[in-house]
Chain A
Amino acid sequence: MSNPQQLRYSKEHEWLSVAEDGVSTVGITEFAANALGDVVYAQLPAVGDTVTAGETCGELESTKSVSDLYAPVTGEVVEANQDVVDDPSLVNSAPFEGGWLFKVRVTDEPADLLSADEYTEFSGS
């Protein structure tokens, strides 16, 4: 598995895209999706919600367990991926693409986000 070079990563296994007009896309990594197993339910933050870096903002439920979703940055949610709500298996089949979770207008980001290479080393993936 390879972690796309253009993304940045949190230690809670979220990825964050380069901001366009101040808006970044957030998802979970392939490593995280594989660890979860089949995702069957995604509770995503709602449009207009403020999320805070490092705090929970939703949950992903898989066959075996439920996992908190952490916001990798602080900001206002401008879109949640309805396709994932309707078909959570997208998180498994395309974690870096169609399985993205939400878009956020970033107001603040932590200093410790990882590069692709750093995340690969961190996750052992």
Chain B
Amino acid sequence: MSSNAPRLTALDALHRSLGATMTDFAGWDMPLRYGSERDEHLAVRTRAGLFDLSHMGEITVTGPEAAALLNHALVGNIASVGVGRARYTMICREDGGILDDLIVYRLAENEYMVVANASNAQVVLDALTERAAGFDALVRDDRDAYALIAVQGPESPGILKSLTDADLDGLKYYAGLPGTVAGVPALIARTGYTGEDGFELFVAPSDAEKLWQALTDAGTPVGLVPCGLSCRDTLRLEAGMPLYGHELTTSLTPFDAGLGRVVKFEKEGDFVGRAALQEAASRAEENPPRVLVGLVAEGRRVPRAGFSVVADGKVIGEVTSGAPSPTLGKPIAMAYVDAAHAAPGTAGVGVDIRGSHEPYEVVALPFYKRQK
């Protein structure tokens, strides 16, 4: 992009009419919150919330060797994903550093949609394009082809059912199927980033307002509210989900982030980063690096990304994300800490909050798990 003006989603006018507080996020002007972010958070936990996630980066990969390309370019076994299913995976550099975490949907035998974080969409697009050399596959930038609307929370299946004939009961977590919602063609995916049941609907930008309005009309009677990125962040934090730029960076491998399970060494063929990741895997086993843990405050001051984690007056780690947790009613954080201090219940761990060492309890992630 040559312009520095923020990009606007297809729902921009609607957000403004709802009185949203907007924020710049990865070059996009996005809703931060409409009213109280705490109320929005609790609505998703107990009822339903409606999100505009059109900043996410969609990249379509098609062709006879689409699966082989993605198996080569990404760390997961993408060829083994069934049509209509989705997979959480990562794209790494040759040295094993994480370029982005992704969701890959297999839309057809030879068609995948890769969804990248907004901040990394160009990097992922460039890497896939470069890695496609020699494969009979096409990598297409589809960022402008989709608006993405998510409806999340326990009421979301009921809300969506009232607007579609699609078989939602047959749609499992991490599955996606094409359908029609409120008369609008949509890819209906049972995915999300909130720790709740919910759906993400990929639609043409020109259909976004109509869909948003229909979901609002259907959901308002059961407590659905529009939700901004602020509560999306506290929802994912409570659910222990990593955020690129915080828990995941190019200086970490998936093994350093405690997500080695996404790397599939057993898949066929070579893939970018294999050798470095094999080393990282052995290193993580023999001499564990810092471990990603949860911290729960005993006091009320909130730890923020970059704050030092301390024990016995020494720095033993660093906070990657922190926020007041609406569900727990206390400040929480994710942090990388030295393995010796990573066990849940480890005593004497604190966070340096502007010079004062506040006591924190080390807990296993996630902070919140929904009752199924």
Q: What string of 1s and 0s marks CB contacts (under 8 Å) between B5-40 and chain A? A: 000000000000000010000000000110011100
Q: Number of residue pairs across A and B with beta carbons under 8 Å?
A: 40
User: Which B residues are in CB contact (< 8 Å) with A125?
Assistant: none
- For B40, the closest partner residue in chain A by CB is A38
Distance A62 CA – B37 CA, assembled complex (angstroms)? 10
| B-contacting residues, A70-107, CB 8 Å | 89, 92
User: Which B residues are in CB contact (< 8 Å) with A54?
Assistant: none
Contact of B33 among A37, A43, A66, A89 (CB under 8 A): A37
| A-contacting residues, B285-334, CB 8 Å | 300-302, 304, 323-324, 331
Q: Are A41 and B230 in contact (CB under 8 A)?
A: no
Q: Are B21 and A64 in contact (CB under 8 A)?
A: no
Q: Are A63 and B300 in contact (CB under 8 A)?
A: no
User: Which B residues are in CB contact (< 8 Å) with A123?
Assistant: none
Q: Are A66 and B36 in contact (CB under 8 A)?
A: no
Distance A33 CA – B218 CA, assembled complex (angstroms)? 32
A40 within 8 A of B: yes
Q: A41-B300, A61-B324 are in contact. List 14 more A-B contacts (CB 8 A).
A: A37-B32, A37-B36, A37-B37, A37-B230, A40-B331, A41-B302, A43-B301, A61-B302, A63-B37, A63-B38, A64-B230, A65-B304, A66-B302, A89-B38
A61 and B301 contact, Cβ closer than 8 Å, known pairs A40-B324, A41-B324: yes
Distance A103 CA – B331 CA, assembled complex (angstroms)? 28
Q: Are B300 and A40 in contact (CB under 8 A)?
A: yes
B71 within 8 A of A: no
User: Which B residues are in CB contact (< 8 Å) with A34?
Assistant: 21
B152 within 8 A of A: no
Distance A87 CA – B33 CA, assembled complex (angstroms)? 21
| B-contacting residues, A32-68, CB 8 Å | 34, 37-38, 40-41, 43, 61, 63-66
A38 and B302 contact, Cβ closer than 8 Å, known pairs A63-B234, A63-B324, A64-B230: no
Nearest 5 CB-CB pairings of A with B: A40-B324, A41-B300, A38-B38, A61-B302, A63-B37
User: Which B residues are in CB contact (< 8 Å) with A92?
Assistant: 36
Q: Are A38 and B37 in contact (CB under 8 A)?
A: yes
User: Which A residues are in CB contact (< 8 Å) with B300?
Assistant: 40-41, 61
Interface of B is mostly: mixed
Distance A34 CA – B301 CA, assembled complex (angstroms)? 20
Q: Are B323 and A63 in contact (CB under 8 A)?
A: yes
A66 and B304 contact, Cβ closer than 8 Å, known pairs A34-B21, A37-B230, A41-B324: yes
Q: What string of 1s and 0s marks CB contacts (under 8 Å) between A2-45 and chain B? A: 00000000000000000000000000000000100110110100
- Interface residue tally of chain B, by bracket? 10 to 19
- For A37, the closest partner residue in chain B by CB is B37
Distance A92 CA – B312 CA, assembled complex (angstroms)? 38
- For A38, the closest partner residue in chain B by CB is B38
Distance A40 CA – B304 CA, assembled complex (angstroms)? 14
A-B contact pairs, 23 of them (CB 8 A): A34-B21, A37-B21, A37-B32, A37-B37, A38-B37, A38-B324, A40-B38, A40-B302, A41-B301, A41-B302, A41-B324, A43-B301, A61-B300, A61-B301, A61-B324, A63-B38, A63-B230, A63-B324, A64-B230, A64-B323, A65-B304, A66-B302, A89-B36
User: Which B residues are in CB contact (< 8 Å) with A38?
Assistant: 36-38, 324
- Give, as a whole number of angstroms, the nearest-CB distance from A9 to chain B: 21
Distance A40 CA – B323 CA, assembled complex (angstroms)? 10
Distance A92 CA – B21 CA, assembled complex (angstroms)? 14
- Give, as a whole number of angstroms, the nearest-CB distance from B219 to chain A: 23
User: Which A residues are in CB contact (< 8 Å) with B234?
Assistant: 63
Distance A64 CA – B331 CA, assembled complex (angstroms)? 12
- Give, as a whole number of angstroms, the nearest-CB distance from A80 to chain B: 15
- Give, as a whole number of angstroms, the nearest-CB distance from B243 to chain A: 14
Distance A107 CA – B102 CA, assembled complex (angstroms)? 59
Distance A50 CA – B182 CA, assembled complex (angstroms)? 62
- Give, as a whole number of angstroms, the nearest-CB distance from A94 to chain B: 13
User: Which A residues are in CB contact (< 8 Å) with B33?
Assistant: 37
- For B299, the closest partner residue in chain A by CB is A41
Distance A41 CA – B301 CA, assembled complex (angstroms)? 7
User: Which A residues are in CB contact (< 8 Å) with B354?
Assistant: 66
Distance A38 CA – B304 CA, assembled complex (angstroms)? 16
- Give, as a whole number of angstroms, the nearest-CB distance from B296 to chain A: 15
